Amino acid sequence: MASIFSQIIEGKLPGRFVWKDERAVAFLTISPVKPGHTLVVPREEVDHWIDMEPDLARHVMGVSHSVGRAIQRAFSPARIGQAIVGIEVPHVHVHLIPIDAISDLDFSKADPNPKPEALDAAAASIRTALRDLGFAEVSE
């Protein structure tokens, strides 16, 4: 069965995309640790990041770098935290989280019921920043 991320990528489930290209996508998580918390996901279903082909891993990290720069511009945190956990969904995904302290990377603080308007606003801010940075892969 397709992972929940594959279902989002295929449009079978909704997602607030900010980036789409032929190999990877980025969309906001439905349980953000902080506003702007975004996931970068390869289109190919790979369970564990160490099983990704090196070229795909480079691409996913490149997309993470680009989207991370946009999150930095949109939210002005001290840093953009990055985590590859992979326990909750068997499909590689990179968490990009705007942080001001190490405690901001505490996934137990994720909001299970964020306001849809807040997610929409965060996605719009990231898309605007991606456009301002000159990226054509911005999703609508």
Give residue-wise pLDDT tens across range 16-64. Answer: 999 999 999 999 999 999 999 999 999 999 999 999 999 999 999 999 9
Is residue 137 included in any domain, yes or no?
no
Q: Tell me, what's the pLDDT at 105?
A: 94
Is residue 140 included in any domain, yes or no?
no
Is residue 67 included in any domain, yes or no?
yes
Q: Tell me, what's the pLDDT at 21?
A: 97
Q: Using pLDDT thresholds of 50, 70 and 90, give the confidence band for residue 139.
A: confident
Backbone region of residue 116 per phi and psi (left: phi > 0; alpha: psi in -120 to 50; beta: other values): alpha
- d(CA 45, CA 67) in angstroms, rounded, equals 20
Q: Tell me, what's the pLDDT at 19?
A: 98
Q: Which residues pair with 20 in a beta bridge?
A: 25
Is residue 37 included in any domain, yes or no?
yes
Number of domains composing the chain: 1
Domain range for residue 111?
A: 4-132
CATH number assigned to the domain comprising residue 28: 3.30.428.10
Burial class of residue 79 (count of CB atoms within 10 Å of its CB; 0-12, 13-18, 19+): middle
Residue 2 has pLDDT above 90, yes or no: no
Q: Tell me, what's the pLDDT at 136?
A: 93
Is residue 138 included in any domain, yes or no?
no
Q: Tell me, what's the pLDDT at 37?
A: 98
